[in-house]
Amino acid sequence: MSTKFGRLVSLVCKRGFSISTSVQKGASEQGVKSLNLCSAINQALQIALDSDPRSYVFGEDVSFGGVFRCTAGLADQFGKKRVFNTPLCEQGIVGFGIGLAAMGNRAIAEIQFADYIFPAFDQIVNEAAKFRYRSGNQFNCGGLTIRTPYGAVGHGGHYHSQSPEAFFCHVPGIKVVIPRSPRQAKGLLLSCIRDPNPIVFFEPKWLYRLAVEEVPEDDYMLPLSEAEVIREGSDITLVGWGAQLSIMKEACLDAEKEGISCELIDLKTLIPWDKETVEASVNKTGRLLVSHEAPITGGFGAEVSASIVERCFSRLEAPVARVCGLDTPFPLVFEPFYMPTKNKILDAIKSTVKY
């Protein structure tokens, strides 16, 4: 099992898709196609099922395509023994996935919305994350990948909008990965499925149909725990992940009009995260802003901020800025107030640079 994974992991390195922009040219054996994020996920799952007969996709309504259609067509192609519906029971779904993975399979579980992952929280935190450690490496559930859509969609209300990633970032033993775009989603999901550790993969549901980009059609993986500088700049470093990056990108453009040069980093993997890339950037710019949709208190932005203050204390020219969701339940009618919008980010950029 571990050798199989080992081989696949080394494959990632050989292909060397460390910077997504280079993927397009380098890996176009079968060409590229314009895809939205949902189809990119679908393609990744299709490749995962196709390339490993011991991989399974399951969850509520997935054999019908799932509520977001990410698994459409997979049951037809691979049969109902490998792509199947589960009853409505998140705790059972994840527990089952851990057992399936412990037998050397790739268990790809879908939790319909990240808001519904909490019934499975115990299985993830107490069973999945610690299986390898507490069995002295006799057992593990490294083949487990939990996919789940997260984040705001404009009007989702309390239970279709939350960003619970920080809860999972407090759990050594699992990895947390969030893609920002279709091409990233496909490559990162394939890496997650083949990585020898249990992973929670949060999909920005806001971008399922909205984000469209050229995606290589072949089987490629993007490395985990490697952040990416997606925009270079000199005055301030902005760190984010997932859907929030598109908002941050707009703020960078507006800041540029006012003469501020922003460097934007996509963290991609939240644990274990790539501190070096962020550190190097902050050493260059001297300023840091982190932004996420989840409530500010105890959000992963706090961890990024603390770590960078430790590493770059003498280089920092202003306090680290955090532009995040507010400390309230995710609201229904107040969503625009709650969200870390472009203008809130822009204001924080300006006040940090002027500090």
Partner 1 sequence: MALSRVSSSSPSILLKPLSSYLSLRRRSVSSSSTDPLTVETSLPFTAHRCDEPSRAVETSAAELLSFFRDMALMRRMEIAADSLYKAKLIRGFCHLYDGQEAVAVGMEAAITRKDCIITAYRDHCTFLSRGGTLLEVFAELMGRRDGCSKGKGGSMHFYRKEGGFYGGHGIVGAQVPLGCGLAFAQKYCKDENVTFSLYGDGAANQGQLFEALNISALWDLPSILVCENNHYGMGTAEWRAAKSPAYYKRGDYVPGLKVDGMDALAVKQACKFAKEFALKNGPIILEMDTYRYHGHSMSDPGSTYRTRDEISGVRQERDPIERVRKLLLSHEISTEKELKDTEKEVRKEVDEAIAKAKESQMPDPSDLFKNVYVKGLGVEARGADRKEVIATLP
Which residues are identified as catalytic? 90, 160
Among 20, 63, 112, 191, binds ligand TPP (CB under 6 A): 112
Q: Which two three-digit tokens encode residue 85?
A: 């519906």
Per the CB < 8 A criterion, the answer to whether 37 and 207 are in contact is: yes
Q: Are 345 and 251 spatial neighbours (Cβ–Cβ below 8 Å)?
A: yes
Question: Of residues 8, 86, 90, 191, which one binds ligand TPP by CB under 6 A?
Answer: 90
Q: Least distance from C-beta 58 to ligand TPP, angstroms?
A: 14
According to DSSP, the residues that pair with 271 across neighbouring strands are 176
When binding is defined by CB under 6 A, the residue of 116, 231, 261, 335 that contacts ligand TPP is 116
In the complex, least distance from residue 98 CB atom to partner 1, rounded to whole angstroms: 15
Q: Is the CB of residue 337 less than 8 Å from the CB of residue 326?
A: yes
- Chosen from ligand TPP, partner 1, none, partner binding at 103 (C-beta under 5 to 8 Å by type): none
Q: Which of 157, 196, 286, 298 binds partner 1 (CB under 8 A)?
A: 157
Using the structure block, give the residue that is written with the tokens 């059972």: 92
Cβ distance to partner 1 smaller for residue 161 or 269: 161
Q: Is 88 in the site for ligand TPP (CB under 6 A)?
A: yes
When asked if residue 158 is in the footprint of partner 1 (CB under 8 A), the reply is yes
- Binding partner of residue 133 among ligand TPP, partner 1, none, CB cut-off 5 to 8 Å per kind: none
Find which of partner 1, ligand TPP, none residue 352 binds, CB within 5 to 8 Å per kind: none
- 209, 336, 351, 355: residue in contact with partner 1 (rule CB under 8 A): 336
C-beta closer to ligand TPP: residue 119 or 331: 119
- The answer to the question of residue 119 lying near ligand TPP (CB under 6 A) is yes
Residue 46 binding result from partner 1, ligand TPP, none, given CB thresholds of 5 to 8 Å by partner type: none
The 10 Å CB-count burial string (b at 16+, else e) for 62-88 is bbebbbbebbbebbeebeeebbeebee
The per-residue b/e assignment along 108-146, b for 16 or more CB within 10 angstroms, e otherwise, is: bbbbbbbbbbeebbebbbebbbebbeeeeeeebbbbbbb
Q: Give the bridge partners for 37, in sequence order.
A: none
Q: What's the rounded Cα separation, in Å, for the pair 239 and 235?
A: 13
Least spacing, CB of residue 333 vs partner 1, in Å: 4
**Residues 6+ positions from 21 with CB-CB distance below 8 Å:** none
Under the criterion CB under 8 A, does residue 332 sit at the interface with partner 1? yes
Q: Give, for 35, the enclosing helix (H) or strand (E).
A: strand 32-36
Question: Should residue 58 be labelled a site residue for partner 1 when binding is judged by CB under 8 A?
Answer: no
Closest CA to 299 of 318, 282, 320, 279: 320
Q: From CA 21, how far away is CA 19, in angstroms rounded?
A: 6
Task: Find the binder of partner 1 among 89, 103, 253, 306 (CB under 8 A).
Answer: 89
The one segment of 18-26, 111-119, 135-143, 232-240 that binds ligand TPP by CB under 6 A? 111-119
Residues forming the site for ligand TPP (CB under 6 A): 60, 88, 90, 112, 116, 119
